[in-house]
Amino acid sequence: MSEALQRLREFAKQVLKCVEKDEPVRIPKRTTSNIRYDPEREIFTLGPDKLERRPRTLKGSKKLAQMLSVAAFAKELVEKGRSATLREIYYTSEGWEVDFKDQRESDAIVEDLEATLGLKREEFGVWPEEDGAAVYGDLLVREDGVEIHAERAGISGYNIPPNVDAVEILDCGAERVIAVETMGMYRRLVQERAHEKLNALIVGLKGQAARATRRLLRRLNEELGLPVYVFTDGDPYGWHIYMVIRSGSAKAAHLNEELACPDAKFIGVTATDIVEYDLPTEPLKKTDYKRIEELRRDPRYYDPFWKKELDLLEKLGKKAEQQAFAKYSLDYVVKEYLPAKLDELE
Amino acid sequence: MSEALQRLREFAKQVLKCVEKDEPVRIPKRTTSNIRYDPEREIFTLGPDKLERRPRTLKGSKKLAQMLSVAAFAKELVEKGRSATLREIYYTSEGWEVDFKDQRESDAIVEDLEATLGLKREEFGVWPEEDGAAVYGDLLVREDGVEIHAERAGISGYNIPPNVDAVEILDCGAERVIAVETMGMYRRLVQERAHEKLNALIVGLKGQAARATRRLLRRLNEELGLPVYVFTDGDPYGWHIYMVIRSGSAKAAHLNEELACPDAKFIGVTATDIVEYDLPTEPLKKTDYKRIEELRRDPRYYDPFWKKELDLLEKLGKKAEQQAFAKYSLDYVVKEYLPAKLDELE
Percent of chain B scoring above 90 in pLDDT: 76
Give, to the nearest 10 degrees, the angle between helix A286-297 and helix A236-247: 30
Catalytic residue check, A91: yes
Q: Taking CB atoms and an 8 Å limit, are B95 and A182 in contact across chains?
A: no
Distances in Å between the Cα of B132 and the Cα atoms of A172, B70, B135, B245 are: 27, 24, 10, 14
Q: What angle do CA B42, B44, B47 make, to 5 degrees?
A: 125
What's the pLDDT at B40? 83
For chain B, the residue count is 346
Question: pLDDT tens digit string along B268-303?
Answer: 999 999 999 999 999 999 999 999 999 999 989 999
Are B35 and B44 in contact by the 8 Å Cβ rule? The answer is yes
- Say yes or no to pLDDT of B333 above 90: yes
**Predicted ipTM of the assembly:** 0.84
Are A228 and A242 in contact by the 8 Å Cβ rule? The answer is no
Average pLDDT, chain B: 93
Residue A222 CB neighbours (<10 A): 12
Amino acid identity at B201: L
A-chain residues near B328 (CB < 8 A): 95
Q: Is A144 on the interface with B (CB under 8 A)?
A: yes
Are A146 and A167 in contact by the 8 Å Cβ rule? The answer is no
Q: Which of A91, A229, A242, A301 is catalytic?
A: A91
**Bind-site residues of B for Mg(2+):** 181, 233
Q: Taking CB atoms and an 8 Å limit, are B161 and A155 in contact across chains?
A: yes
Are B84 and B127 in contact by the 8 Å Cβ rule? The answer is yes
Are A280 and B95 in contact by the 8 Å Cβ rule? The answer is no
A-chain residues near B129 (CB < 8 A): 182-184, 187
Are A301 and A295 in contact by the 8 Å Cβ rule? The answer is yes
Nearest to B123 by CA among B21, B58, B212: B212
B-chain residues near A182 (CB < 8 A): 129
Is residue A148 helix, strand or coil?
strand
**Ranges of H-type helices in A236-285:** 236-247, 256-259, 271-276
Amino acid identity at A62: K
Compare all CA atoms of chain B with the CA of A188 and give the residue at the minimum distance: B84
Whole-number Å distance between alpha carbons of A87 and A98:
16
Are A201 and A177 in contact by the 8 Å Cβ rule? The answer is yes
Q: Which of B37, B90, B91, B237 is catalytic?
A: B91
Q: Is A129 on the interface with B (CB under 8 A)?
A: yes
CA distance B161 to chain A (A): 6
Are A258 and A164 in contact by the 8 Å Cβ rule? The answer is no
Residue B332 — very low, low, confident or very high, per pLDDT cuts 50/70/90?
very high
**Bind-site residues of A for Mg(2+):** 181, 233
Phi and psi at A266, nearest 5°, equal: -90, 130
| DSSP E strands, A132-191 | 134-136, 139-143, 146-149, 158-159, 168-172, 176-180
- Give the A:B interface size as CB pairs under 8 Å: 124
Compare all CA atoms of chain B with the CA of A186 and give the residue at the minimum distance: B129
Low-confidence ranges of chain A (pLDDT < 50): none
Average pLDDT of B27-38?
88
- Say yes or no to pLDDT of B129 above 90: no
Are A162 and A212 in contact by the 8 Å Cβ rule? The answer is yes
What's the pLDDT at B1? 65
Q: Taking CB atoms and an 8 Å limit, are A94 and B127 in contact across chains?
A: no
With the CA atoms of A255, A257, A260 and A262 taken in that order, what torsion angle do they form, in degrees rounded to the nearest 10?
Answer: 160
Any idea what DSSP says for residue A238? H
Chain CA centroid to CA B264, Å: 13
Compare all CA atoms of chain A with the CA of B141 and give the residue at the minimum distance: A154
Q: Starting at the edge strand that comes first in sequence, how are the strands of the sheet with A158-159 ordered?
A: A158-159, A134-136, A200-204, A176-180, A228-231, A265-268
What's the pLDDT at A325? 94
Nearby residues of B44 by Cβ (< 8 Å), 6 or more positions away = B35, B36, B37, B38, B247, B248, B249, B250, B253, B256
Phi and psi at A141, nearest 5°, equal: -125, 165
Average pLDDT of B225-233?
98
Phi and psi at B146, nearest 5°, equal: -105, 130
What's the pLDDT at A44? 85
Amino acid identity at A150: A
Residue A8's Cβ-side half-sphere holds a number of Cα atoms within 13 Å equal to 24
**Which structural domains are found in chain B, ordered by start?**
3-127 (1.10.10.10), 134-345 (3.40.1360.10)
Least confident of A193-202, B37-46, B102-111, B280-289: B37-46
